[in-house]
Chain A
Amino acid sequence: MVKADLIRAIELRLNLSHDEATAQVEGVLNLIKDSLTGGDSVLISGFGQWKVREKKARVGRNPKTKEEYEISPRTVVTFYPSNVWRQEIADHFQSNARG
């Protein structure tokens, strides 16, 4: 699934023009991005949470040359799926395994 599929879904379900539906999808993505860029986490209940984490510098090793080098400290985004969603997936795959 790609962005165009989300736009199409909104177009059909909400009876919006293509441009209006595009604005909705871009708006959601950009607002999440802006929040994270500003260091604020994003919590969507039932879906999950994006958190902004600071990572310290650490030593890395080039697996080919075995050479050591420092991985610089950085700020990263981590997504934690909600318990509701985890359970949905667990149930889904269990019932599949049982046939």
Chain B
Amino acid sequence: MNKSQLIEKLAIRTHQTNKVAEQAVNIVFDNVKQALNSGDKVEIRGFGSFLLKKYGAYTGRNPKTGEKVQVPEKMLPFFRAGKDLRKKVDD
């Protein structure tokens, strides 16, 4: 499922126009992004949580040339599936 399919299904399920559903979808993902970008975390019960995780620097290698590359420390968004989602997917 991609974003436009999600919007279409949401509009049908909630009896709203595609335009309203599109705006709602955008607000949800924009707000999650903004929360993490500003250092906050997002916790949605039954679904999961988003947080920023720090990944340490390491020495990697270019697999083509075998050359050593220093990969600097970085922050990445990390999603942890909630209990309900984890259970349902595994059933």
Q: Which residue of A lies closest to B36 (CB)?
A: A89
Within 8 A of B (CB), among A1-51: 1-3, 5-6, 9-10, 13-14, 16, 20-21, 23-25, 27-29, 31-33, 35-37, 40-48, 50
A71 adjacent to chain B (CB < 8 Å)? no
- Bound CA–CA A33/B83 (angstroms): 12
Query: Which residues on the A side are within 8 Å of B43 (C-beta)?
Result: 1-2
User: 1/0 per position for B16-54, CB-CB distance to A under 8 A?
Assistant: 100011011101110111011100111111111000100
A36 and B16 form a contact (CB under 8 A): no
Counting CB contacts under 8 A, is B71 at the interface? no
Determine the interface band of chain B, counting residues with CB < 8 A from chain A: 35 or more
Residue of A nearest to B47 (CB): A29
- Quick check: is B68 within 8 A (CB to CB) of the other chain? no
| Interface of chain A: mostly helix, strand, loop or mixed | helix
**Contact between chains at B88 and A31 (CB < 8 Å):** no
Identify which of B20, B35, B48, B89 contacts A52 (C-beta below 8 A).
B89
CB of B64 closer than 8 Å to a CB of A: no
B61 interfacial by beta-carbon distance below 8 Å: no
Question: Which B residues are in CB contact (< 8 Å) with A90?
Answer: 74-75
For residue A16, give the distance in angstroms from its CB to the closest CB of chain B: 8
**Contact at B31–A6, with CB atoms within 8 Å?**
yes
**Chain B residue contacts of A10, Cβ below 8 A:** 24, 27-28
Q: How far is the CB of A39 from chain B (nearest CB, A)?
A: 8
Q: Are B10 and A31 in contact (CB under 8 A)?
A: yes
Is B77 a contact partner of A48 (Cβ separation < 8 A)?
Answer: yes
11 contacts between A and B (CB under 8 A): A6-B27, A10-B27, A13-B23, A13-B27, A29-B47, A31-B13, A33-B84, A37-B88, A76-B86, A79-B77, A92-B37
